């Protein structure tokens, strides 16, 4: 079955942010680290080699150049998407199809590069976690 | 002058209408400072007042309904009357007591001083709890702007009545009364992600003195222009929109369809024009009586609403049309206001960052309008420099 991404006609309020690509993920991690402690403590982080996902309420999220804001939609609460884009498919069916292939978990679905990032491993944005992510990235 | 419907000898009158619309816009802005997500309500009060119609707000208690109406009335400088109706509310509590001196003379007259018949802006909370006697008298006040009781018959200066209730009534007779409120607005509590802004704004709003930004004469000036609006261009589009709604099983009473024209004309006047066009059809969304009908209409009329715009009533348009044009305008205005202030003012950095977040959450780089992109770049430079 072929499908495409399209613009989100009614972007929801962000519930997270993603730095996608080497530069954006590093910039977002630096922006998280620079937040005042009460704001940073309200955020959760998870990462892979080139993506950093930050989950938290909109007013706690940092801004930096190139960041992508993300949120699930009402029809598919476990499927996180960029706020400005959505797959041109019924999202509830897409979520069910993804749940059949992957273990049930909130998943962040990205358009470019196409990938899925599980969000259930997100942990509070502590100094230790930030240091661990940096160490994994080996920057 | 773009229309033949307004005499060509009135250029100064057109600009005075535009100035009145600008003052009304300032009044709406002042009235909603510190109140989160309530601009739409304030703008609809103004639209209803200019169209000489009435607004019904439906939603849970505690959603700042009365605060907004009170603040709009104060910003417009009108005589304000507010009452929370209950099952046992007596007509005299709204309309005034019987005048005892006149009663001794054998005449039943009502002493209306300071009561609803003298109000210019009225807010009636839990309006459907009123008794039959109250609702019947209210019908006259709302429809004809005349108060009739016993020997008392007076013209009411009422510009707009805002009714509020938790839900639309099931009872048929009350549903007919609800139909007299041409605009229906469904309000929700402020969403989770704006709770901090709600708390900070509420704190600020309580301390802010209400300033007088416009005059009721501005509303009257705009109102006088409504019957002169050229409707030819909008009428075809309106008929087409009604056909689409009917095709989707969404019907409106003939009364609501005909009266919707007043709202469309008022929207054109508030946009500074003397002829209505397709961009002014958006009030039709608020004429749909139920929440389900409004949501369905949004979908059915997506194409017609795509061109909706109004510089004075941006939040109301944005909510109705779900399109980015007015969202762009609102973000542009907010960005310019932020950039006009000192970069080291308390909270300026947080506001700039919040705006950048909102811009980026609403537009990706390909869809970002050029004008907004320029302001975004200035905001980004400010935030980066402060970091």
Q: Residues in chain A whose beta carbon is closer than 8 A to a beta carbon of chain B?
A: 7, 9-11, 13-15, 34, 57-59, 61-63, 65, 67-69, 82-85
CB–CB contact B193 A11 (8 Å): no
Among B34-38, B138-142, B254-258, where is mean pLDDT lowest?
Answer: B34-38
CB atoms under 10 Å from CB of A36, counted, come to 7
As a whole number, the mean pLDDT across chain B is 83
> What average pLDDT does the segment A55-81 reach?
92
CB–CB contact B364 A85 (8 Å): yes
Q: In what order do the strands lie in the sheet with B55-58?
A: B80-84, B121-125, B160-165, B55-58, B183-186
pLDDT of residue B5: 40
Among A42-51, B38-47, B65-74, B136-145, where is mean pLDDT lowest?
Answer: B65-74
* Cα–Cα distance, A125 to A44 (Å, whole number): 5
Out of B361, B384, B387, the one facing A14 most closely (by C-beta) is B361
Taking only the tens place, the pLDDT of each residue in B290-345 is 988 888 888 888 877 878 888 888 888 888 887 666 678 778 888 888 888 777 77
- Structure confidence at residue B4 as a pLDDT band (50, 70, 90): very low
pLDDT of residue B205: 53
B/e letters for B246-264, b = 16+ CB within 10 Å, e = fewer, are eeeebebeeebbebbbbbb
Out of B357, B363, B384, the one facing A61 most closely (by C-beta) is B357
pLDDT of residue B131: 92
> What average pLDDT does the segment B190-202 reach?
55
Taking only the tens place, the pLDDT of each residue in A87-126 is 988 888 888 888 888 876 799 999 988 999 999 889 999 9
Is the pLDDT assigned to residue B59 strictly greater than 90?
no
Residue from B323, B352, B360, B366 to probe the interface with A (highest A Cβ count within 10 Å): B360
> What average pLDDT does the segment A20-29 reach?
94
> What average pLDDT does the segment B224-247 reach?
92
CB–CB contact A7 B367 (8 Å): yes
Chain Cα centroid distance, residue B77: 16
Residue from A8, A11, A63 to probe the interface with B (highest B Cβ count within 10 Å): A63
Out of A9, A58, A67, the one facing B322 most closely (by C-beta) is A9
Is the pLDDT assigned to residue B210 strictly greater than 70?
no
> What average pLDDT does the segment B102-113 reach?
85
Chain Cα centroid distance, residue B205: 19
CB–CB contact A57 B197 (8 Å): no
ipTM of the complex: 0.92
pLDDT of residue B351: 82
Taking only the tens place, the pLDDT of each residue in B242-292 is 999 988 888 888 888 889 999 999 999 999 888 999 999 999 999 999 988
Out of A9, A13, A63, the one facing B353 most closely (by C-beta) is A63
Out of A15, A58, A84, the one facing B364 most closely (by C-beta) is A84
Determine contact, residues A83/A72, Cβ cutoff 8 Å: no
> Regarding beta strands B55-58 and B80-84, do their DSSP bridges make them parallel or antiparallel, or are they unpaired?
unpaired
* Cα–Cα distance, B68 to B28 (Å, whole number): 9
Task: Give backbone dihedrals phi and psi of B119, rounded to 5 degrees, phi first.
Answer: -75, 150
Is the pLDDT assigned to residue A66 strictly greater than 60?
yes
High-pLDDT (> 90) share of chain B, %: 36
Q: Show residues of chain A in contact with B331, CB under 8 Å.
A: none
Instruction: Look at the block and give the residue holding tokens 């910003």.
Output: B75
* Cα–Cα distance, B185 to A14 (Å, whole number): 25
pLDDT of residue B8: 40
Is the pLDDT assigned to residue A10 strictly greater than 90?
no
Out of A11, A67, A68, the one facing B362 most closely (by C-beta) is A11
Å between A107 CA and nearest CA of chain B:
19
> What average pLDDT does the segment A15-37 reach?
94
> What average pLDDT does the segment A54-63 reach?
92
- Structure confidence at residue B1 as a pLDDT band (50, 70, 90): very low
Q: Residues in chain B whose beta carbon is closer than 8 A to a beta carbon of chain A?
A: 191-194, 196-197, 322, 353-354, 356-357, 360-364, 367, 380, 383-384, 387
Residue from B325, B356, B360, B361 to probe the interface with A (highest A Cβ count within 10 Å): B361
* Cα–Cα distance, A71 to A58 (Å, whole number): 10
């Amino acid at each position: 079955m072929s499908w495409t991404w399209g613009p989100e006609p009614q972007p929801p309020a962000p519930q997270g942010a993603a730095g996608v690509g080497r530069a954006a993920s590093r910039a977002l991690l630096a922006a998280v680290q620079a937040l005042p402690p009460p704001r940073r403590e309200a955020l959760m982080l998870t990462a892979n080699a080139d993506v950093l996902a930050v989950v938290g309420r909109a007013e706690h999220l940092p801004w930096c150049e190139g960041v992508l804001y993300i949120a699930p939609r009402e029809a598919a609460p476990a499927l996180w998407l960029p706020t400005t884009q959505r797959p041109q498919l019924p999202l509830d069916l897409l979520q069910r199809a993804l749940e059949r292939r992957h273990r049930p978990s909130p998943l962040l679905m990205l358009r470019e590069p196409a990938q899925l990032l599980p969000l259930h491993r997100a942990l509070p944005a502590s100094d230790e976690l930030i240091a661990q992510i940096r160490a994994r990235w080996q920057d | 002058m773009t229309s033949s419907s307004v005499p060509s000898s009135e250029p100064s009158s057109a600009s005075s209408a535009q100035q009145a619309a600008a003052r009304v816009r300032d009044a709406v802005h002042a009235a909603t400072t510190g109140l989160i997500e309530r601009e739409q309500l304030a703008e609809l009060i103004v639209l209803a007042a200019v169209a000489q119609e009435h607004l019904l707000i439906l939603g849970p208690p505690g959603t700042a309904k009365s605060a907004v109406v009170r603040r709009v009335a104060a910003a417009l400088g009108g005589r304000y009357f507010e009452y929370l109706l209950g099952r046992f509310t007596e007509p005299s509590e709204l309309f005034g007591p019987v005048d005892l001196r006149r009663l001794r003379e054998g005449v039943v007259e009502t002493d209306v001083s300071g009561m609803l018949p003298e109000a210019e802006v009225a807010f009636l909370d839990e309006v459907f709890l009123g008794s039959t006697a109250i609702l019947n008298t209210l019908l006259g006040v709302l429809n004809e702007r005349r108060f009739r009781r016993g020997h008392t018959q007076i013209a009411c200066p009422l510009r707009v009545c805002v009714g509020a209730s938790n839900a639309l009534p099931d009872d048929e007779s009350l549903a007919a009364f609800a139909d007299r409120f041409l605009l229906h607005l469904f309000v929700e509590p402020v969403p989770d992600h704006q709770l901090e802004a709600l708390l900070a704004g509420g704190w600020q709003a309580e301390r802010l003195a209400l300033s007088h930004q416009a005059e009721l004469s501005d509303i009257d000036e705009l109102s006088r222009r409504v019957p002169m609006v050229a409707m030819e261009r909008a009428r075809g589009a309106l008929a087409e929109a009604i056909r689409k709604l009917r095709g989707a099983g969404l019907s409106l009473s003939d009364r609501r369809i005909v009266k919707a024209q007043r709202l469309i004309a008022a929207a054109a006047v508030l946009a500074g024009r003397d002829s209505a066009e397709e961009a002014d059809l958006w009030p039709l969304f608020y004429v749909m009586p139920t929440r389900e009908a409004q949501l369905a209409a949004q979908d059915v009329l997506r194409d017609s609403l795509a061109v909706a715009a109004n510089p004075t009533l941006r939040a109301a348009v944005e909510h109705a049309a779900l399109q980015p044009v007015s969202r762009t305008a609102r973000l542009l205005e907010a960005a310019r206001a932020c950039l006009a202030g000192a970069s080291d003012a308390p909270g300026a950095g947080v506001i700039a960052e919040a705006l950048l977040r909102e811009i980026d959450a609403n537009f990706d780089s390909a869809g970002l309008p050029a004008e907004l992109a320029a302001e975004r770049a200035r905001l980004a430079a400010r935030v980066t420099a402060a970091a």
